[in-house]
Amino acid sequence: MNKFKRVAIYSSKNDKQILEIASHCIEVLKNQEIEIILTDNLVSLKKSGLKVYKNQNNLINKTDLIISIGGDGTLLGCARRYGFFGIPVLGINLGNLGFLADIPPEAISNSLLEVINGNYIKDSRFFLEANLTHKNKKFIALNEIVIHSGAIAQLIDYEVYIDSLFAYRQRADGLIINTPTGSTAYSLSGGGPIVHPGLDAITLLPMFPHSLNTSPLVISSKSEIKIVMKKNKSRAMLSLDSHDSLMLKAEDSLIIKKARSELTLIHPLGHDFFSSCRNKLGWSSSIANGSS
C-alpha cells in the first residue's frame, strides 16, 4: 500500500498525557523523515521543522494522514473535521473502549512504523447526512443521529417515513438512527444490535417507546429516512455524534440519508472487528475465566 509522507497530529485536548504521546509520535516520524503538521491544540509542541495549521482547509490540502490521539470521541471529532474531506485517520487510543482508535500507547512505535511504511489495513465507514427543514445547512454524523427530549426524559411524538413510505408513528423518549460504526456506541447501550462495519445498513432504535411491540429496524443505507415531529408538550432536541444540539419544533421534518463522503480508517496489520468485540465487550469472557 501507499506510504505516507506528510502526517498531521490531532487531539481535542492538550493535557500532559496527550503531549507526551504526541511527542513520541513526532520522534518516530522525524526518524523516518516524515513531514509533520500539528493542529492548533498542539501548538506548544512546535519546534524547528514542524508546522502548525490552524486553518482547517490548509491542513486538508497539506496532509495525507492524520493521527488522532485520545478516545473514540476525539476520533469522531477528527473524522467530522478532517476525515469527511478525504484524509485517512489513524487512532491512538487513550480512552476506554477504543473501537475506532485502536493503537494502545505501548504499541505506538512499532504500529506507527508499520503504518507509515505502507503496512496497514484500510477500513471505509460511511457518514450520515441530516437536513433539517428550517435550517439551510447539512449536518453529518459518523456514529448516530439522536432525537431526544433533553436532560429530562419525556415522551416525544414523531412519524417515520422510509423512502417516502409511511413506516410508523411513535411516542418514545427518542430515536437513535445509527450507522454500523455507531452500533457499538450509544445504540449498544440502548439495546440495539451490533452491526458489522462492512454492512451497508442503517439502524433505527426507539428509546423507551410507549409500546409493547416495538423493535429496532435495520434498513438499507440507500434508503432515505424522513422524521416528522408532531406537536409535543415536551421539547425535542437533535444531536449528531453528541455534537450540534438543535431544537426541533412541531411539524419540523428531518431528512436523513447516507452521505457521499466516506471516512477511511487506518488500522495496524492484524486488526479485525471480532477481536475488538472480544476485547472491548468481553465476548468469550466466561471461557477465558474457566467458567462453564
Integer Cα distance of 101 and 12 in angstroms: 14
Q: Indicate the pTM of the whole model.
A: 0.92
Confidence of residue 211 (pLDDT cuts 50, 70, 90): confident
List, for residues 239-278, the tens digit of each pLDDT value: 999 887 899 988 899 999 999 999 999 999 999 999 889 9
CATH number assigned to the domain with residue range 6-118, chosen from the 4 options 3.30.1360.10, 3.40.50.620, 1.20.120.420, 3.40.50.10330: 3.40.50.10330
CB 229 within 8 A of CB 236: yes
List, for residues 112-129, the tens digit of each pLDDT value: 999 999 999 999 999 999
Instruction: Return the pLDDT at 289.
Output: 55
Which residue's C-alpha cell is 495549521?
53
Residue, of 179 and 287, whose pLDDT is higher = 179
Give ranges for CATH 3.40.50.10330 in the chain: 6-118
Instruction: Return the pLDDT at 149.
Output: 87
Integer Cα distance of 209 and 135 in angstroms: 28
Helices 16-31/108-116 angle, 10° precision: 50
Which residue's C-alpha cell is 486488526?
271
Question: Which triple of cell numbers denotes residue 179?
Answer: 450507522
Which residue's C-alpha cell is 445498513?
201
Q: Is the dihedral of CA 185, 187, 192, 197 positive or negative?
A: negative
Instruction: Return the pLDDT at 245.
Output: 84
Confidence of residue 154 (pLDDT cuts 50, 70, 90): confident
User: Could you list the active site residues?
Assistant: 72
Closest by Cα among 101, 15, 6 to 59 = 6
Q: Is the dihedral of CA 184, 187, 188, 194 positive or negative?
A: negative
Confidence of residue 213 (pLDDT cuts 50, 70, 90): confident
| Interior angle at CA 103, CA 270 and CA 32, nearest 5 | 90
Give domain 127-260's CATH architecture: Sandwich (2.60)
Instruction: Return the pLDDT at 290.
Output: 52
Instruction: Return the pLDDT at 177.
Output: 98
- 162, exposed or middle or buried, with CB in 10 Å at 0-12, 13-18, 19+? middle
Give ranges for CATH 2.60.200.30 in the chain: 127-260
Confidence of residue 287 (pLDDT cuts 50, 70, 90): low
What's the half-sphere exposure (Cβ side, CA atoms, 13 Å) at 13?
14
Instruction: Return the pLDDT at 14.
Output: 84
